[in-house]
Every structure is written in C-alpha cells, then in structure tokens.
C-alpha cells in the first residue's frame, strides 16, 4: 500500500478502527485457541482443522496489517464546498444523452459502495466531476466509451 493517502470520512475512520479492534481483541484470540485445539488432536500433516485455523490466522493477520497501514496514511474528508465538486461532495447529475439523473457521494476508495451511491474518487465518473461547478457539462471517459453528464446540484 506504500504511502498512498487513504481518504475516509469520520464514520469510515471509526468503522475501520472498530474492525481493527474486533480483529485484535476477538478474532485473533479465538483463532489462537482454535489452533491450540487443532494441535492437540495430534498429527498436523492430515489435520484439516489445523490447516483451516492457520489459513484463518493468515487472513486475520493480513487484514490487521492492511488496516494498520491504512490508518498510518489516512486523511479525513473534511466539510466540503457546495460550489465546487470535491472529495466528500454529494453530486446530482443528469446524463445528457437520455435525461436520466443520479446522485453520488464521492468518497475514498475504501468507503466506495455503488449500492449506496458512494463512488470512489478514483472512478471515471468522479474523476470527471472533481473541481467542476453546477451547470458544467463534463465528459466521462469509461471503458465502454465516453459520455456527457451535467452537474445539477452539489450538496
């Protein structure tokens, strides 16, 4: 992950800290106990419970490491301007070709959830919207070709 900035809302930061706490205080100790119990069964070469517990341990430790690195490089998304689209903005758009409308909140990649209309600042649509104003028509370059959208509101 290097030193790449991780953009989070206050809620996203709290959720990440909570996940880390659960991993360290609950899942890790439970996993250690599972490994001890599986070891006590004897021959480890054919012990599926031991293998499963060790695989789970690798996943837990990997996620802990990832979260700790993210927290070292976190930048909180502050209150944003209502005049210009930025990280943290909620933007209403109209697709120029078919008049359909959508509303998206632009968040860091860790909090993106298309089902909740939360899009990553690294996505093509967010990249096109950033630093533009209400009334601007911008072109989105997507893998399926380009299309135009109009910014109708910034919240």
Choose the CATH number for 90-154 among 3.40.50.150, 3.30.930.10, 1.10.220.10, 3.10.50.30.
3.10.50.30
Is the distance from CB of 7 to CB of 107 less than 8 angstroms?
A: yes
Check: CB of residue 112 under 8 Å from CB of residue 123: yes
Query: Contact, 8 vs 16, CB < 8 A?
Result: yes
Pairing assessment for the beta strands 90-95 and 145-154 based on DSSP bridges = antiparallel
Model confidence at 1: pLDDT above 50: no
In this prediction, residue 2 carries a pLDDT of: 55
Give per-residue pLDDT as tens, 108-142. Answer: 999 999 999 999 999 999 999 999 999 999 999 98
> In this model, does residue 38 exceed pLDDT 80?
yes
Q: What is the CATH number of domain 6-76?
A: 1.10.287.180
Domain boundaries, the chain: 6-76, 90-154
132-143 burial, b at 16+ Cβ within 10 Å, e below that, comes to beeeeebebeee
pLDDT in tens, 52-99: 999 999 999 999 999 999 999 999 988 777 899 999 999 999 999 888
As a whole number of angstroms, the distance between CA 127 and CA 138 comes to 10
């Amino acid at each position: 992950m290097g030193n790449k900035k991780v953009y989070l809302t206050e809620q996203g930061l709290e959720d990440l800290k909570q996940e880390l706490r659960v991993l360290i205080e609950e899942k890790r100790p439970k996993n250690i106990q599972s490994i001890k119990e599986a070891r006590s069964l004897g021959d480890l070469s054919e012990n599926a419970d031991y293998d499963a517990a060790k695989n789970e341990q690798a996943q837990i430790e990997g996620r802990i490491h990832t979260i700790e690195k993210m927290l070292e490089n976190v930048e909180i998304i502050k209150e944003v301007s209502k005049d210009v689209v930025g990280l943290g903005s909620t933007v209403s758009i109209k697709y120029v070709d078919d008049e359909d409308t959508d509303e998206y909140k632009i968040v860091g990649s860790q909090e993106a959830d298309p089902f909740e209309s939360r899009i990553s600042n690294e996505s093509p649509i967010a990249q096109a919207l950033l630093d533009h104003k209400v009334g601007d028509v911008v072109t989105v370059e997507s893998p399926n070709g380009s299309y135009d959208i109009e910014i109708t509101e910034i919240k």
